[in-house]
Structure 1
Amino acid sequence: MPACCPPLPNRPQRRPRPQRLLCAALALLLSAGSLQAQGLPPSPVRLPALGESASDEFNLNQEKRIGEQVMREIRRDPAYLDDPQLLDYLQSLWAPLVRTARQHGDIDADTERLFPYEAFLVRDRSVNAFALPGGYVGVHLGLIAITSTPDELASVLAHELAHITRRHIARSVAASSRNSTLGLAAMLLGLLVASRAGSPDMAQAAIMGGQAAVLQAQLNFSRDMEREADRNGLATMAGAGFAPAGMSAMFDRLDGASRLNDSGAYPYLRSHPLTVDRIGEARQMVQATAQAGSLPPPPLLHGLMQARARVLMDPGVQALRKLQDFDTRGTMAQLPLSDRLGGLYAGALASAGLRDFDRADRAVRAALDLLAASPQRSDAPARRALAHLAVQLALARGQPAEAGALLAAEGLVDGGRSGLLLQAAWSLADGGEAPLRRSVEALHTWVTGQRDDAAAWQALAQAAGRLGQPLRSVRAEAEAQAALGNLSGAIDRLRAGQLMARRGGVGMDFIEASVIDARLRDLQAQRRQLLADERRAGERPRGGDAPE
């Protein structure tokens, strides 16, 4: 199966302990309220009015650069998950929230220009979500797996978005000492160095030092900031068309979990402590909204994506075997339609991960038949998700003709990212010149507007290489490495492209060669800036990276 569209869960390499500590530390240090979770008094943070500068010491450009540097490392972590179908679903909730925040004036022209407002997935079964500097929000698969409705998940996304739009990280820095920005950068870079060094002791020491710096700099969000994020988040989700009751339902779910023995499975409860005041105020706000009331029945697609998250968050053999049994449980007939479809979907995906394709096919067919026989048989998004899985199974079995027929019949190539990558995977498996050309054109159009989509660049590199377009292929490989944060790898590929262009030959393209020259200068300048930042923060340069 082409790397551009990894359709099926497989056994991942064991996650390095320092990188696990890195993700945990970032969630702890840059999410809200762990000081309050430890019972410490709230810091005296004055909430500025909308439009007031949060901090002269931690301006938008600094926040952007720190966020980009953290994301470069996160994208290299095996826990960073680029699952096109699940990301499409997350984006379908995230995009209207960002659009509404923009309409409400919470996103101004400067932050719109500098911040990407990107939500990404973390392959982790713990219930957590966190905001990072520069407009990034991470969502653990465990959080998706416990939500019953899209409104519950949207409430968490809206809350984290409010932390970004209200610039709570910058406010916390502004409320502390003059050196807090440098301390934040040094702390984050120390964690990144520890993760690259592969030393658990070094990572642990960095985290311990980071926690001390946080206590000194009062980096954690105050209770006032948590309530502000609740208020802003509720207004944003209501304006985006989500049911406000989703926020109180999510609070109830997390409050119930907090009464149990956590055992580390709910880090969100520690970084976002649910005080009685917060819960009560949130319920009052929900009741005051015009859309107050019970939650609508969840769409079938949410149940399927919940099942997908459950399978992908732990793709070990034992976990997959347990989930595989969902398609044969005798109690399935007594469950609601959404749960039955989710069980069949989880069983099919788990069977595919175990390479039991016959059983996976049976589960998908059973789910499609169940949907066709139900009153909700017109649920197009659910049918498309099932058909998408059927295409992935056909490609995994080495049957591109069947996959192509399903793609055409179900209309899965609709301009969305998952359909685009699925089409690319099929064209590479089919090998025909016409499908490859269509994929190259569609992918080129896509990456023109989505420069940081590493999977799309990699798919473009493979398809262009098959078509005898070596310069375009090499440049796409370089862009894929740049999107993943590997600037040295990207520069090496661009230099290889320059050498290839000088030698000439079949498939050489003067325009592509000019683009390679310009892009090489750009990435070299980025790397020089990164090395300068690291030196100022007292970090040793990365191995193998030297100034140009």
Structure 2
Amino acid sequence: MPGLINRANARRPQSRGWAVGKRLATIGLAALLCAAGPGFPPLQPKPALAQSRPLSLIRDAEIEATIRHYADPLFRAAGLDPNGIRVLLVNDDSINAFVAGGMRLFINTGLLIQSDSPNQVKGVIAHETGHIAGAHLSRLQDELKNATIEQIIGMVLGAGAAVASGNGGAVVAGATLGTEIAKRNLLKYSRTQESAADQAGMGFLDATHQSSRGMLEFFQKLEGQEFLLGQNQDPYLLTHPLTTDRIDSVQQHVDNSPYSDAKDPHEDMAMQERMVAKLKGYIWPLTRVEQTYPASDKSVGARYARAIAYYRVSRAPEALQLMDSLLAEAPDDPFFLEQKAQILFENGKLAEALPLYTAAYNQRPNEPLLGLELAQAEIELEQPELTKLAIKHLEGVTTIEPRNARAWYFLSVAYGRDGNLPMSALAQAEQAMAQGNSQEAWAQAKRALEGMPAGSPGWLKANDIITEAQQIKENN
């Protein structure tokens, strides 16, 4: 998935000095981890389990915003703080979603692409929210006795940290442990928990005046796979036992709920179309994109998918022409602006990309990925006034995502170019801490202290990092 997953396969030019690492940036994880979570000793590889695909996570501002638009009302209906729940996208073409680490919701790209409506995605999210609200995974973990399974728990927690930090290497060991164990043991809920999550999820949908029909449709989509061999089933069935009784229960709710005929808002339908088109544009080969979205298809989704697919194979003029057609219809759309900016940026047209990144950021200043992209462009242009702006934007990003190692890296660069070496060292300390390198964090924080006034905010933060790093060392 160039730009979305395996960037090594993308035939795109690199920007000066570094790869952008933005759009749908991927953290590929080998599944056998070394210290992925606190307190977990390294495991020895088990050869019989070393054939499954590794887990990889992706990030994209627009897709994340779409999922949050669907999910946050359901989280609030469950009495949960949306800001306390991480939503992570898994690059996998199978249908699956699961909860791990208590407050982390993982959704496969395959589920999003194969969904027929926003309501189906919302139904899955509502069900998974039922697991979160019911603390089902915590109860499952309490019962686990096998150290291997505990290590996989650390893998999932580490995956969440890695996608935020931008550094999969912090959690990757040299061998691969198949994810089949995680599918079958770690994340497998009991039938009682599944029914409880269904009931809770339908309650959350009712509370937000949304239909549960999408949940029913999703279960019916999977029902035909119940009799397939395990390796041919979508992993959702391996982790979420599906029974006729459960389907009948959801059907009964749909038959009686006053909201069963509620339709997805037009805004949600448009967001869904764009999300699916973007994923296909990044994931699928160009020939498949062109077959699905032929040139005769002038819909927004079709043009978006083709623009991204052309950009991936270095056909920038065609990609830009399509993006211009989209922007002619929606000139202030932040994600169209962002996409065109990225095409220009990664083709060396930094000065042309900057105003587009700026316009996108001004539309959505609380989207950390937009702030990070804008700051990268500002730094690359190597102008003192833009460097100061980059510092401001990156400080905003790190406030929202304090463990985003990539943001801390660029902030250290910006501070260094601005002549503030102590703050550059402090940013490097934060970067190291986000990457799980407490020894490097300690050393950089010590460097930062040497040039900071005692009692200043930076001085206090450097001391906090030193204390945290020392505690990690002592606990290990």
Determine helix, strand or coil for the equivalent of 2:78: helix
Q: Which has the higher contact order (CA 8 A, sep 6+)?
A: 1
**Could you tell me which of 342, 353, 361 is aligned with 2:320?**
361
Give the superposition deviation at 1:271: 1.8
Q: 1:460 aligns with which of 411, 421, 429?
A: 411
- Match in the other structure for 1:126: 94
Matched, 1:325 2:271: no
Structure 2 portions without partners, runs of 5+: 1-14, 44-53, 159-170
1:361-393 deviation digits (Å, cap 9, x = unpaired) = 122223345xx3xxxx69x7xx33222211111
> In the comparison of the two structures, how many residue pairs are matched?
432
Give the equivalent residue in structure 2 for 1:53.
Answer: none
Would the aligned equivalents of 2:37 and 2:154 in 1 still touch at CA under 8 Å?
Answer: no
Tell me how far apart the structure 2 counterparts of residues 450 and 184 of structure 1 sit (CA, whole Å): 29
Q: 1:223 to 1:132 in 2, by over 3 A?
A: same
Which residue in 2 is equivalent to 1:81? 58
CA contact (8 A) 1:498 1:513 kept: no
Q: CA deviation at 1:528?
A: 3.4
Give runs of aligned pairs for residues 13-92 of structure 1, distance below 5 A: 18-19=30-31, 79-92=56-69
With 82-91 and 120-129 compared, the bigger mean Cα shift is at 82-91
Q: 1:159-178, aligned counterparts within 5 Å?
A: 159-172=127-140
- Does residue 524 of the first structure (1) align with residue 470 of the second (2)? yes
- 1:452 Cα offset (Å): 2.6
* Deviation of 1:263 (Å): 6.0
Assess if the C-alpha contact under 8 Å between 2:195 and 2:246 holds in 1. yes
Q: Determine which of 341, 345, 348 is the counterpart of 1:395.
A: 345
* Match in the other structure for 1:492: 440
Match of 2:49 in 1: none
Q: Which residue of 2 aligns with 1:440?
A: 391
Relative to structure 1, is the Cα distance of residues 497 and 407 closer, same or farther in structure 2, using a 3 angstrom cutoff? same
Match of 1:131, SS state, is strand
Paired AA for residue 225 in structure 1:
Q
SS of corresponding position for 2:89: strand
Q: CA deviation at 1:326?
A: 5.7
Q: Distance in 1 between matches of 2:155 and 2:358?
A: 50
**Cα offset for 1:454?**
3.3
Distance change in 2, residues 1:468/1:122 (3 Å): farther
User: What is the DSSP-based 3-state SS (H/G/I as helix, E as strand, rest coil) of the residue aligned with 1:120?
Assistant: strand
Assess, with a 3 A threshold, how the Cα gap between structure 1 residues 170 and 442 changes in structure 2: closer, same or farther: same
Which of 236, 250, 256 lines up with 1:282 in the alignment? Answer: 250
The aligned residue for residue 471 of structure 1 is: 422
Task: State how far apart, in whole Å, the 1-side matches of 2:18 and 2:454 are.
Answer: 25
1:290 is displaced (CA, Å) by 2.2
Whether contact under 8 Å (1:424, 1:439) holds in the other structure is: yes
2:289 pairs with 1:303: no
Per the TM alignment, residue 527 of structure 1 is displaced from its structure 2 partner at its CA by 4.5
The 8 Å contact of residues 348 and 363 in structure 1, kept in 2 or not, is answered as yes
1:281 Cα deviation from its structure 2 partner:
1.0
Distance in 1 (CA, whole Å) between partners of 2:424 and 2:224 is 52
Q: How far, CA to CA, are the matches of 1:187 and 1:463 in structure 2?
A: 37
Shift, 1:164, TM fit: 1.9
Which of 118, 123, 126 is the aligned partner of 1:158?
126
C-alpha distance 185-515 of structure 1, shift in aligned 2 (>3 A): same
Closer/same/farther in 2, CA of residues 69 and 471 from structure 1, 3 Å limit: farther
* Residues 1:173 and 1:122: Cα distance change in structure 2 (over 3 Å): closer
Q: 1:406 to 1:292 in 2, by over 3 A?
A: same
**Aligned partners of 2:251, 2:463: CA distance in 1, in Å?**
57
Structure 1 CA distance for aligned equivalents of residues 152 and 22 of structure 2: 37
Relative to 1, partners in 2 of residues 1:182 and 1:258: Cα closer, same or farther, differing over 3 Å?
closer
CA distance in structure 1 between the partners assigned to 2:278 and 2:149 by the alignment: 36
1:481-539 deviations in Å (ceiling 9; x for gaps): 433xx322x4314403423653x59x99964244223212113313433x3xxxxxxxx
Q: Deviations over 1:47-88 (max 9, x none)?
A: xxxxxxxxxxxxxxxxxx997779xx9xxx871223333223
Q: CA deviation at 1:136?
A: 1.3
Query: Using a 3 Å threshold, how does the CA distance of structure 1 residues 508 and 354 change in structure 2: closer, same or farther?
Result: farther
Q: What are the residue-to-residue correspondences of 1:102-501 with 2, within 5 Å? A: 102=79, 107=80, 116-172=84-140, 180=145, 184-185=149-150, 188=153, 196-200=172-176, 203=177, 214=185, 220-240=188-208, 242-255=210-223, 264=232, 266-293=234-261, 295-296=263-264, 297=266, 298-312=268-282, 314=283, 319-323=284-288, 325=290, 329-330=294-295, 332=297, 340-369=299-328, 372=329, 383-407=333-357, 411-483=362-434, 486-488=435-437, 490-499=438-447, 501=449
Identity %: 21
How many angstroms apart in 1 are the aligned matches of 2:455 and 2:20? 28
Structure 2: distance between partners of 1:307 and 1:98: 26
Once the two structures are superposed, residues 256-313 of structure 1 have per-residue CA deviations (whole angstroms, 9 ceiling, x without a partner) of: 566889864721122223322111211221332221115335531221111222344x
Q: 2:5 is matched with which residue?
A: none
258 and 331 in structure 1: CA distance in 2 versus 1, 3 angstrom threshold: farther
Query: Measured at CA, do residues 256 and 408 of structure 1 come closer, stay the same or move farther in structure 2, by a change above 3 Å?
Result: same
2:274 and 2:300 in contact (8 A); partners too? yes
Q: Secondary structure at the match of 1:137?
A: strand
- Please say if residues 189 and 239 of structure 2, whose CA atoms lie closer than 8 Å, have aligned partners that are also in contact: no
Query: Is residue 412–residue 423 contact of structure 2 (8 Å, CA) maintained in 1?
Result: yes
For residues 395 and 189 of structure 2, the distance between their equivalents in structure 1, rounded to whole angstroms, comes to 42
Q: Which amino acid aligns with 1:487?
A: G
Q: Report the AA paired with residue 158 of structure 1.
A: A
CA displacement 1:147-201 (0-9 Å, x = unmatched): 2333221221221121122011333456x5xx74878536646999xx855335x
| Larger radius of gyration between Structure 1 and Structure 2 | 1
Cα 1:93–1:528 change in 2 (3 A) is farther
Report deviation, 1:407: 4.1
AA in 2 matched with 1:233: G
Is 1:248–1:282's contact at 8 Å kept on the other side of the alignment?
Answer: yes
Q: CA RMSD in A?
A: 4.1
